[in-house]
Chains A and B, each alone.
Chain A
Amino acid sequence: MSVSSPPPRTASPPPLHRLRRELFATPLDGVISIVLLAGLSAAAVAFLHWATSQARWAVIQANSNLFAIGRYPLEQQWRLWLLVTLLAGATGLSWGLLRAWPRADRRAQPWPRNDSIAAALLGAISLYVPLALHAQPGIQVRWWAITALLLLLRAAAGRWGALVPQQLRPMLALIWPALYLIGMVLISGGLGLMQVPAAEWGGLMLTLVEASFAILLCFPLGVLLALGRRSALPLLRWGSVLYIEFIRGAPLITLLFLGQNILGFLLPGGLAPDRVWRAAWVLTFFAAAYVAEAVRTGLAALPPGQLEAARSLGLSLPQALLHVVLPQALRVALPATVGQFITLLQDTTLLSLIGLLDLLGIARTVMANPAFLGRNAEVYLVLAILFWCCCAALGLGSRALEHRLNPSTLATNTTALKA
């Protein structure tokens, strides 16, 4: 039995034939196609005309630094360059190692076709974007070097990753939490580095800091809330229900508003975090309620016999939850949970409404500059592309993870390998 048999190939009709079937199957389809084609080409022509002759891209080129990091002090920016380099290195390493250590049932494939495409795309983007932004030569070279580092590490890890002994492999996953802590220190200061107060963070950096902080913390909180909601203990259950429904009943902006205006009254003087961290905590507590609902659907999809069987084998409740219930439930809940993370990343734009300088907030200050007045379309288009890429990448990653964790292919294929 082969590990993966290709699907039987059916003879595909010639392209012209297919085009006719897709677009002109019936007279009505033909009319719809012609109208749509005309509309689409008119829109494309109008857009290209605008983008090449009317749009003034100087607003992006002159402010690229602001969009990236806000008003982060100039003399401390080497810390961010260091962080980006570390992140790129860790990404290249993890990417290569993922390919070098395949699932038990797969053969290692150092360069699958999709990876080559992704690497080529990454190279092209990093080659083009600094040029298009008219960045200073020094900065251009830095970006190219960082990309080269990423791709080199990817290639090296893919080539020699299999040599890493089996016992060491789980340890390498720890570079990410470690890198997160290092990143927070590099950004905020401390440990001998000069403090950079959160009020001076901005742009894409602030957006990513807030989103990653909230994503990391809302997940365990959401899992606890989901377990609480399904608990047999009434106090725990009703407490969780009350919290989840209260949060889900209110718009995020009112909660952010609450965080900015009431948190200061709730905590003894001086204990309340500053505005950036208040918003981060509100985002965390907000997203936790939605993640809890996503996880709850996963828990509900699990037959109750699983918990009962685990308990009757002598596992304690925490053991049964940790080793039997949650791994299965979280796998079911994965797409919905990542969907919530994507929403959370999008929700960080609301910070601009409470006066923080996230990506959208900094865009508003840039457009308030008389030199760039009325350049809304250019700025919003670039922001939309940025967000679209981030969200689409998260969605793709979720689908890949789902595929990797899919137990049905794992089970059948491992038995096939043994046989």
Chain B
Amino acid sequence: MTPSLRPQAAADAAAPLPWWRNRRLIPWLAQGLVGLLVLVVVAFLVGNLVRNLTAAGLLLSWGWLDNPSGFDIAETLLPYNAGLPYWRALLAGLVNTLRVVIAGLVGATVLGTLAGTAAFSSNGLLRRLARIYVEVVRNIPLLLQLVFWYFVVFLQLPNGDAALQLPGLVLAKSGLYLGHTELVNGVWQGSLRFTVEFGALLTGLVVYTGAFIAEVVRGGVAAVPAGQWEAARSLGLSKVQTLRRIVLPQALRVIVPALNSQYISLAKNSSLAVACGYTDLYSVAETTLNQTGRAVEVVLILLAAYLVIDLLISALMNGLNSCVQLKER
């Protein structure tokens, strides 16, 4: 570099940069512009919403939640009847959703773990069967599976004497009876009864999510290097001990984070309950909307409820995750 160029360079550096060439300013300006545009669009939409809702006499209000709902819910855990207000109906729906979600989480985890570990069986038939289960279930829409379980399986169950009877368990078209069961005038009675709607939804969710969890479990176990198995066996640990003490703790580090998203999708998928006649939160909300026309409030309630359920599951799984992760100082 020749010295004669230096004064020129210094002059360049000293001259104030025009603002449109400022590398720091421009992105912020662009960002502000995009933000402004989004704000304008949102304001436009909200303005429309308020204007249209006012015209329809449906401006945001929550007072209608106290009006009597006037519709019945087939099965509830909370005491409920048609004379109770809407918020009680929605609450009963929420409890129904939680019930099927919790039962589904347990069932899908058990089925998924079984199918996922079956992929490592020494029995070739069992391995292939697990593979076929996953491939079949994952490529068929959940909604189709739900209506199949409900209309083709559960609604075709026989009633009365012909019902499927095991000690302490009766499966009939009128429901699943547990505990002490007896037939009174052709109608089954039991200490615990679940409807076929609940049964169909639960079966569908468990079978569907179980296939995804099986893949998660299979991936987690496969992620443990084969050397870990061999080392444990050569130390004299039995196969069960190896699985419990060596492989599982390492596999869980991979499995638990992936399970979180499967659990959340199960919770969201439970909203398809309406397809098999189970009155969950969404189903109650739909009826409520049809009766009151309060679209905005109902959608807000739905979104908030599912968001809270998702966050709860995430919080639980994050707690579990911190238990299984490698403890480092």
A residues adjacent to B (C-beta < 8 A): 21-23, 25-26, 29, 32-33, 36-37, 40, 232-236, 239, 249-254, 257-258, 261-262, 264-269, 342, 346-347, 349-350, 352-353, 360, 376-377, 380, 383-384, 387-388, 391-392, 395
Taking CB atoms, residues of chain B closer than 8 Å to A40 are 129
> How far does the Cβ of A232 sit from chain B's closest Cβ, in whole Å?
8
Taking CB atoms, residues of chain B closer than 8 Å to A392 are 135, 139
Of the A-B pairs whose beta carbons lie under 8 Å apart in the complex, a sample of 5, sorted by A's number, is: A233-B27, A249-B306, A265-B53, A360-B143, A392-B139
Taking CB atoms, residues of chain A closer than 8 Å to B56 are 265
Q: Are B31 and A395 touching (Cβ within 8 A)?
A: no
The CA of A242 and the CA of B52, in the complex, are separated in Å by 26
Q: Are A251 and B144 touching (Cβ within 8 A)?
A: no
> How far does the Cβ of B295 sit from chain A's closest Cβ, in whole Å?
4
Q: Are A261 and B299 touching (Cβ within 8 A)?
A: yes
Q: Are A380 and B152 touching (Cβ within 8 A)?
A: yes
The CA of A392 and the CA of B136, in the complex, are separated in Å by 9
The CA of A250 and the CA of B138, in the complex, are separated in Å by 21
Taking CB atoms, residues of chain A closer than 8 Å to B234 are none
Name the CB-closest residue of A to B271. A251
Q: Are B35 and A235 touching (Cβ within 8 A)?
A: yes
Q: Are B139 and A395 touching (Cβ within 8 A)?
A: yes
The CA of A360 and the CA of B140, in the complex, are separated in Å by 12
Known: A387-B140, A388-B140. A251 touches B268 (CB 8 A): yes
If A250-B307, A253-B272 are given as contacts, then 4 extra A-B residue pairs at C-beta distance below 8 Å, sorted by A number, are A21-B124, A261-B295, A353-B143, A392-B135
> How far does the Cβ of A362 sit from chain B's closest Cβ, in whole Å?
13
Q: Are A254 and B302 touching (Cβ within 8 A)?
A: yes
Taking CB atoms, residues of chain A closer than 8 Å to B91 are none
Taking CB atoms, residues of chain A closer than 8 Å to B302 are 250, 254, 257
Taking CB atoms, residues of chain A closer than 8 Å to B138 are 391
Name the CB-closest residue of A to B141. A346
Known: A350-B143, A387-B141. A22 touches B268 (CB 8 A): no
The CA of A137 and the CA of B2, in the complex, are separated in Å by 90
Q: Are B141 and A380 touching (Cβ within 8 A)?
A: no
> How far does the Cβ of B280 sit from chain A's closest Cβ, in whole Å?
10
> How far does the Cβ of A201 sit from chain B's closest Cβ, in whole Å?
19
Q: Are A387 and B148 touching (Cβ within 8 A)?
A: no
Q: Which single member of A25, A252, A346 contacts B123 (CB below 8 Å)?
A: A25
The CA of A261 and the CA of B297, in the complex, are separated in Å by 11
Q: Are B306 and A251 touching (Cβ within 8 A)?
A: yes
Q: Are A349 and B143 touching (Cβ within 8 A)?
A: yes
Name the CB-closest residue of A to B149. A380
Q: Which single member of B122, B136, B299 contacts A29 (CB below 8 Å)?
A: B122
Q: Are A251 and B282 touching (Cβ within 8 A)?
A: yes
Sorted nearest first, the 3 A-B pairs with minimum C-beta distance are A22-B124, A346-B141, A391-B139
Taking CB atoms, residues of chain A closer than 8 Å to B226 are none
Binary contact readout B83-119 vs A (1 if CB under 8 angstroms, 0 otherwise): 0000000000000000000000000000000000000
> How far does the Cβ of A261 sit from chain B's closest Cβ, in whole Å?
4
Taking CB atoms, residues of chain B closer than 8 Å to A267 are 45, 48
The CA of A135 and the CA of B1, in the complex, are separated in Å by 85
Judge whether B284 is part of the interface by a CB distance below 8 angstroms. no
Taking CB atoms, residues of chain B closer than 8 Å to A37 are 125
Taking CB atoms, residues of chain B closer than 8 Å to A360 are 141, 143-144, 147
Q: Are B122 and A25 touching (Cβ within 8 A)?
A: yes
Q: Are B306 and A254 touching (Cβ within 8 A)?
A: yes
Taking CB atoms, residues of chain A closer than 8 Å to B192 are none
B residues adjacent to A (C-beta < 8 A): 27-28, 30-32, 34-35, 38, 45, 48-49, 52-53, 56, 121-126, 129, 135-136, 138-145, 147-148, 151-152, 268-269, 271-272, 274-275, 282, 285-286, 289, 295-296, 299, 302-303, 306-307, 310
Taking CB atoms, residues of chain A closer than 8 Å to B145 are 384
Taking CB atoms, residues of chain A closer than 8 Å to B122 are 25-26, 29
Q: Which single member of B30, B49, B126, B152 contacts A32 (CB below 8 Å)?
A: B126
Known: A253-B272, A257-B299, A257-B302. A380 touches B125 (CB 8 A): no
Q: Are B307 and A249 touching (Cβ within 8 A)?
A: yes
Q: Which single member of A21, A32, A249, A269 contacts B310 (CB below 8 Å)?
A: A249
The CA of A253 and the CA of B151, in the complex, are separated in Å by 21
Q: Are B124 and A23 touching (Cβ within 8 A)?
A: yes
Taking CB atoms, residues of chain B closer than 8 Å to A232 are 27
The CA of A387 and the CA of B31, in the complex, are separated in Å by 43
The CA of A257 and the CA of B297, in the complex, are separated in Å by 12
Taking CB atoms, residues of chain B closer than 8 Å to A342 are 139
The CA of A21 and the CA of B124, in the complex, are separated in Å by 8
The CA of A383 and the CA of B121, in the complex, are separated in Å by 33
Taking CB atoms, residues of chain A closer than 8 Å to B52 are 264-266, 269
Known: A254-B271, A376-B151, A377-B152. A349 touches B31 (CB 8 A): no
> How far does the Cβ of B297 sit from chain A's closest Cβ, in whole Å?
11
Q: Are B126 and A254 touching (Cβ within 8 A)?
A: no
Q: Are B144 and A383 touching (Cβ within 8 A)?
A: yes
Name the CB-closest residue of A to B38. A239
> How far does the Cβ of A210 sit from chain B's closest Cβ, in whole Å?
13
> How far does the Cβ of B191 sit from chain A's closest Cβ, in whole Å?
31
Q: Are A236 and B272 touching (Cβ within 8 A)?
A: no
Taking CB atoms, residues of chain B closer than 8 Å to A252 are 268
Taking CB atoms, residues of chain A closer than 8 Å to B282 are 251, 253-254, 257
Known: A236-B34, A265-B295, A392-B139. A380 touches B148 (CB 8 A): yes
The CA of A266 and the CA of B152, in the complex, are separated in Å by 41
Q: Are A346 and B49 touching (Cβ within 8 A)?
A: no
Name the CB-closest residue of B to A31. B123
Name the CB-closest residue of B to A385. B140
The CA of A403 and the CA of B138, in the complex, are separated in Å by 22
The CA of A362 and the CA of B218, in the complex, are separated in Å by 38
The CA of A29 and the CA of B126, in the complex, are separated in Å by 9
Q: Which single member of A21, A268, A383, A387 contacts B139 (CB below 8 Å)?
A: A387
Q: Are A265 and B139 touching (Cβ within 8 A)?
A: no
Taking CB atoms, residues of chain A closer than 8 Å to B148 are 376-377, 380, 384
> How far does the Cβ of A31 sit from chain B's closest Cβ, in whole Å?
10
The CA of A83 and the CA of B143, in the complex, are separated in Å by 29
